[in-house]
Amino acid sequence: MSEENQVEEQPKPLILEKLEANHADALLAQDESRGTVVVTVRKEQSYAILEYLKTDPELAYTFLVDVTAVDNSQMESELMQFDYARFMVVYQLYSYQGQCRARVKVPVHENDLNIPSVTTLWQGANWLERETYDMFGINFEGHPDLRRILMPDDFEGHPLRKDYPLRGRGERERFNFDKQNM
């Protein structure tokens, strides 16, 4: 093989260095996806880590791009990795200062769907967490107004869960127009 094919050793991203130095006990896994650092952290420390990433003057991940979740119930390989936690709550962050992105993933078990809300860190998390609650049923503790945001108020279930039937449970055919909030 020629020298051109040799991969140059990349310097370790600052975020990983700092997290390993300060929050090593919370880190479950670290990965890289198309130039974005991906860290998986324990739920108990998720709020502390997100707060650290936002407030640390060197990292300054001040912009919360998105909050969402993944239902891994049919992904055996993913389930095995994190103690069979069904859901993975995902935070996408951006640092204007460092002009780089980071992804923080938090495994959440089905029997304990509570996770601390980050609305106190980012006001913008309000609707994002409501959507995640609506679609997956994740309960964000400390959220000021955790109601459905996309589905009708009287909707039952959380449609982006993998066990929710794609064509629904008959709600698109069954309508009681008197009962609806018209």
Q: What is d(CA 129, CA 148) in angstroms, rounded to the nearest whole number?
A: 10
Q: Are 33 and 103 in contact (CB under 8 A)?
A: yes
4 vs 156, which CB is nearer to other proteins? 156
Does the footprint of other proteins cover residue 171 (CB under 8 A)? yes
Stretch that binds other proteins, among 11-19, 33-41, 90-98, 167-175 (CB under 8 A): 167-175
Distance CA 68, CA 135 (A): 9
The secondary structure of 54-90 as a DSSP string is HH-TTT---EEEEEEEEE-TT-HHHHHHTTT-SEEEE
Residues 136-155 close enough to bind other proteins by CB under 8 A? 150-152, 155
d(CA 118, CA 48) in angstroms, rounded, equals 10
| Selection from 81, 2, 71, 99 nearest residue 40 by Cα | 81
Q: Considering the complex, what minimum distance in angstroms separates the CB of residue 175 from other proteins?
A: 6
For other proteins, which stretch binds (CB under 8 A), given 52-60, 65-73, 101-109, 163-171? 163-171
Among residues 24 and 182, whose Cβ is nearest to other proteins?
Answer: 182
Closer residue to other proteins (CB): 143 or 158: 158
CB nearer to other proteins: pick between 29 and 150: 150
Under the binding rule (CB under 8 A), the answer on residue 177 touching other proteins is yes
Place of tokens 């709600």: 171
Residues that bind other proteins (CB under 8 A): 150-152, 155, 159, 164-169, 171-173, 175, 177, 180-182
